[in-house]
Amino acid sequence: MCGIVGYYGERSAYDVLVKGLKRLEYRGYDSAGIAVIGDGLEVFKKKGKVKDLENFIDQKKITGKIGIGHTRWATHGEPSDVNAHPHLSGEKSIAIIHNGIIENYSSLKQELLSKGYEFESETDTEVLVQFIQAIKIENNCGLVEAIRIALNQVIGAYAIAVISKDEPNLLVAARKGSPLVIGIGKDEFLLASDASPIVEYTNEVVYLNDNEIAIIENGDLTITTIEDVKQTPYIQTLDLELEAIEKGGYPHFMLKEIFEQPNSIGDCMRGRIDATTDRLVLGGIREYADKLVEAERIVIVACGTSWHAGLVAEYLIEDLCRIPVEVEYASEFRYRNPVIKQGDVVIAISQSGETADTLAAIELAKSKGAVIFGVVNTVGSSISRATDEGAYLHAGPEIGVASTKAFTGQLTVLTMIALMIGKRKGTITDRKFSNMLRELSMIPEKIKAVLDSNDKIEFIADLFKDARNFLYLGRGYNFPVALEGALKLKEISYIHAEGYPAAEMKHGPIALIDEQMPVVVIATRDNSYDKIVSNIQEVKARKGVVIAVVTEGDALIPKMADFVIEVPRTADELMPLVSVLPLQLLSYHIAVLRGCNVDQPRNLAKSVTVE
Ligand code: G6P
């Protein structure tokens, strides 16, 4: 969380920074700020969105060509002008922006306080910049050396960028645990938390590694480690189009991303599946493929929506491959002394590839000798680099904070992994394998059919937009979909919602049901259909209002439910790919009708790089 951006070149730094911050706003939007070396060191920062910063700066002429910018998701200290980044050293010569957490900030602060340093903000970042300043004075050294010494004493995670009015031709950046990409243009350099602020200017990038410092000075880039060992920059070419990070005529990124799903799933399968020849190839899983096939158990680690995809994968892998699967919240896994043995298989699922807890869970499993596979969307991200092998989603950038196309991309990749294992293990027949491939390749068309119900779903949303609670029920493969539907609703509309396995309802949530309670039941035709029909009757008997997601042509449930949304028929294992769509649209429309900021819901961030 928090987005950072830096510029060094011949353009107006202000223009590049503000544009870049808008692209990174999905990472946090509590406050924003910039610092530019122009007429001295000019700093502007403001509580609120990047737009509030622009209004605050108004028409002021900012001429500098080197600068840094930040959009914040508060960790230490409430969102306020004073806690906004950039933070300055005491005599206001050094400016820093920071994404991450300095864990030993409190002891560093005590040390600095005892030396007479004063602090304006409550942030760990101000401690870091004062610490750098103190080292600079005590060692009588330049900025780069002071940063290097400081980072050797810092515990925690950071991506930082630093400028100083005393060395006006210098931009320094460093990373440990938080992402940082450097764009190399013609006579200019950019740096950012992800490639989206960079792609407009260049597609040549270097992903900084942990414990590396990038020094951009007098038109040159040098990379060293924090031990001062020079590194050769590994320049990569970005595969990212500008239009992929713009709204393309949609009112919100979330809606654009929901409607992109026929294409994003198609892209995910492209070159990997050929249903006409029964071919399934995952190019990123080769050397360690045997480990997956021979695994005695598989542990999945993930957070949020990615954890829900993991639950579907548990059903898929146990069903199709007969391998026991455990799905863990990464944040719990890493702190509970889990049993992982040499050669165990772990699958980490992450859209951003930067989630701190998932990354830490991977490191823990690795240290115990596990083989790690990644199911990641963001190419070149920290998680994709920390895993042994894996498969990208190829869903394109997901910018709306509520995950949609990444979820269906994850399901697609996980289904392909399960099919690959099942085929090689012989736990599924050739016939089942080819049927599944055929069904999978038809999913994009089936999703298009669900998207045709958008107007109907908007109509239903309007009727329920003022509800205070929602219950989501599903069974089997649709149980994780119920969890995901409830999560989507609460995160963007702020309506309390719970997802439950339908049969568990009678062990508690049924007490909540009355005529005020909308109950969304995912009741597609599968092997628990008859049971879920009974669950709908239980809700109706208590006067609950039922919105049912049903398989097209279902004649029974429409007689009981208050509203039905039809989805096309597909294999049970693939149903979540289709049945989640109406729930994404329902939450989207409810949130819009309630006047909520769908793409930037309060308190949330897209990429959670703190623990
Ligand atoms: C945040 C996002 C969610 C996401 C979760 C895990 O909470 O808002 O949309 O599911 O992090 O993120 P990851 O990038 O690891 O999938």
> How far is ligand 1, taken at its centre, from the CA of residue 275, in Å?
32
> How far is ligand 1, taken at its centre, from the CA of residue 302, in Å?
9
> How far is ligand 1, taken at its centre, from the CA of residue 419, in Å?
26
How deeply is 11 buried, as exposed, middle or buried, from its count of CB atoms within 10 A (0-12, 13-18, 19+)?
Answer: middle
Residue 377, ligand 1, Cβ within 6 A:
no
Residue 305, ligand 1, Cβ within 6 A:
yes
Residue 303, ligand 1, Cβ within 6 A:
yes
Atom of ligand 1 nearest to the CA of 305: 10
Among residues 270, 324, 261, 329, which one has the least CA distance to residue 297?
324
CB atoms within 10 A of CB 547: 24
DSSP state of 488: H
Among residues 406, 156, 469, which one has the least CA distance to residue 261?
406
Here the tokens at position 390 are 């894996």
Q: Going by DSSP bridges, is the β-strand pair 496-501/469-474 parallel, antiparallel, or unpaired?
A: parallel
Distances (CA, A) of 136 to 85, 114, 219, 346, 532: 21, 17, 24, 44, 68
Residues 6+ away with beta carbon under 8 Å from 27: 1, 2, 3, 71, 73, 99, 193, 605, 606, 607
- Given a cut of 70, the residues of the chain with pLDDT beneath it are 1, 610
Residue 321, ligand 1, Cβ within 6 A:
no
Are 548 and 563 within 8 A, CB to CB? Answer: yes
Q: To test the ligand 1 pocket, which listed residue (355, 487, 604) has its Cβ within 8 A of the most ligand atoms? A: 355
392 forms beta bridges with 376
> How far is ligand 1, taken at its centre, from the CA of residue 118, in Å?
37
Residue 359, ligand 1, Cβ within 6 A:
no
> How far is ligand 1, taken at its centre, from the CA of residue 607, in Å?
6
Query: For the whole model, what pTM was predicted?
Result: 0.83
Residue identifier of the C-alpha nearest atom 9 of ligand 1:
403
pLDDT, residue 244, reads 77
Asked if 596 is an active-site residue, the reply is: no
Distances (CA, A) of 345 to 299, 313, 374: 6, 14, 11
146: Cα within 13 Å, side-chain hemisphere: 23
> How far is ligand 1, taken at its centre, from the CA of residue 14, in Å?
30
Reported as a single tens digit per residue, the pLDDT across 423-454 is 999 999 999 999 999 999 999 999 999 999 99
Atom of ligand 1 nearest to the CA of 358: 15
Atom of ligand 1 nearest to the CA of 302: 15
> How far is ligand 1, taken at its centre, from the CA of residue 26, in Å?
11
Here the tokens at position 376 are 């990641």
Are 67 and 11 within 8 A, CB to CB? Answer: no
Residue 75, ligand 1, Cβ within 6 A:
no
pLDDT, residue 495, reads 96
Atom of ligand 1 nearest to the CA of 352: 14
pLDDT, residue 370, reads 95
pLDDT, residue 459, reads 97
pLDDT, residue 28, reads 82
Rg (alpha carbons) of the chain, rounded to whole number: 25
Catalytic residue among 2, 268, 321, 596: 2
Atom of ligand 1 nearest to the CA of 406: 16
Among residues 134, 56, 65, 128, which one has the least CA distance to residue 99?
128
Backbone angles phi, psi at 502, to 5 degrees: -55, -40
Asked if 341 is an active-site residue, the reply is: no
Residue type for position 79: P
pLDDT, residue 603, reads 80
pLDDT, residue 140, reads 96
